[in-house]
Amino acid sequence: MLAVKSAALVEELASKAVKALIDEAMLTPKPGLVDANNNGSHTDMSLELMLKSAKALEGTFREIAFVSYLHPVNQKLREKIAAIGRQGEQAMLSATNGINTHKGAIWALGLLVSAKASLPEEKNPIKILETAGEIASFKDRFTPNNQTHGQAVKKKYAVMGAQEEAQFGFPHIRDASLLALLKARAAEKPEEEAQIEALLALMATVDDTCILHRGDWADLVAIKTMAGEFLLWDGFATTKGREIFQCLSDYCKTKRLSPGGSADLLAATLFLVS
């Protein structure tokens, strides 16, 4: 009976993780990001590629869920899922001909899948975030010592990157996107608008290393300011909100800036409440 229950949960978590990536990709419109209308600020990505990448990662999330089921939260678990995640990155790159479509999402979603599988009866999203943070805080002794764009940006601007975001229990999901999504749903806004408001809540608060890699600090401040103003003006519900959204989209496209970190956290948010 336990084996049947665990198998069902493993399949459910893998399916939900892939669906979260697909829902994030399909969400339209999104400033600077690939969506159903256009490729945003990307010349090397398309919606078709994003969907292909998402589906290629189902096996990765399935393995993470399988090894994490009822597993104690410890360094052994951290290193198990890290190894699977690195294999998942290779599966992603194979599916996309070398394009990094979802590396950050593998990290965030992998941790949340692991947390949910380790605590299969836990329904509180805050507890899941905290558990994911605990997992992320253990040292992975086998992490390759490769310099990434994110690490270079963190050093240059002294900001928090994806690793720290996870280790602190995903504070921007807890305090920004999750609250924005639930608030919009409670106001009975269309689900697409609720998800866009969750994305903009992230863009308004996250020191997105993807933006800083392509742009600079002034670009980050401008994007965070416009995203915050969009929310203050009640999003698409007002003419001013729609105007601000268009200005934000134009800014990202003109400067070729993409809030990829916020997109990863949005996918993680959608998984959390699925």
pLDDT in tens, 261-270: 999 999 999 9
User: 3-state DSSP helix/strand/coil percent for the chain, to nearest 5?
Assistant: 70, 0, 30
- Residue 2: pLDDT band with limits 50, 70, 90: low
Distance CA 88, CA 204 (A): 30
Note the pTM of the prediction, 2 decimals: 0.96
Mean pLDDT of the chain: 96
Helix or strand holding residue 181 (H, E):
helix 178-186
- The yes-or-no verdict on residue 1 having pLDDT over 70 is no
- Residue 148: pLDDT band with limits 50, 70, 90: confident
Residue 119 CB neighbours (<10 A): 18
Determine the average pLDDT of the residues in 82-101: 97
189: left (phi over 0), alpha (psi -120 to 50) or beta: beta
